[in-house]
Amino acid sequence: MVDFLKKFIANIYVRNILLMAVLLFVLIGIVLFCLNQYTRHNKSIEVPDLRGLQIQEVAPIIGSKDLKYEVVDSVYNKDGVPGAIVEQIPLGKSHVKEGRTIYLTIQARSEQLVAVPDLEDSSLRQSEALLRALGFSNINIVRIPSEYLDLVFGLEYKGATVKGGQKIPKNATLTLKVGDGGISSDSISSEEVEVETDTSSETF
């Protein structure tokens, strides 16, 4: 049996196969080791809860944790504290890898202003869709006498006409002046006909 094993191992093909197997196992071990070091397996950092803090207070806290931060958005709340962090991703107390970026949303110091598009001569549906896409949610519709139904004749904010490109607060209440399609004039004409009929009957 021993002689057989010696002859089997001494075979050049067998030795090459064994050598290749050893090299394959060594290569797999090196790759797994490198992946473990690169992904820092079983090593994580607890994300601090930054909500309520001012943005200038974040840098030393994040730096001490070997993390990074980036302000990605701002929101306005009249009851909020200007400059305070209102949201973060990932959330506080979650665990991340070293060097991870924490994305922050802060309280704006003033109301966000948005440029309004020129809506004159556009349809009511199109105008409403554009305004809501820009973040305006308080939209009033006022019908004015016109033969064109749902045609926009103007946009108003606090009683003043808003022109295309003008910036106004995002939470503003807007008024769209829209044509009534001749409904008002038709009703007036009907009333005049009724009055004339009544007058005629009284005369005779």
Three-state helix/strand/coil letters over the chain: CHHHHHHHHHCHHHHHHHHHHHHHHHHHHHHHHHHHHHHCCCCCEECCCCCCCEHHHHHHHHHHCCCEEEEEEEECCCCCCCCEEEEEECCCCCEECCCCEEEEEEECCCCCEEECCCCCCCEHHHHHHHHHHCCCCEEEEEEECCCCEEEEEEEEECCEECCCCCEEECCCEEEEEEEECCHHHHHHHHHHHHHHHHHHHHHC
Residue 88 lies in a domain: yes
Residues 120 and 75 in one domain: no
Residues 121 and 176 in one domain: yes
CATH assignment at residue 138: 3.30.10.20
Does the structure show a pLDDT above 70 at 5?
A: no
Does the structure show a pLDDT above 50 at 200?
A: no
Q: Mean of the per-residue pLDDT values for the chain? A: 82
Residues 136 and 92 in one domain: no
Range of the domain at 75: 45-107
pLDDT-based confidence at 73, cuts 50/70/90? Answer: confident
pLDDT 10s digits, 15-70? 778 788 888 888 888 887 777 666 555 577 889 999 999 988 998 998 888 899 99
- Domain count of the fold of the chain: 2
Residues 85 and 117 in one domain: no
Q: Last residue of some domain: 78, 107, 136?
A: 107
Residues 86 and 130 in one domain: no
Least confident of 10-19, 74-83, 102-111, 191-200: 191-200
pLDDT-based confidence at 4, cuts 50/70/90? Answer: low
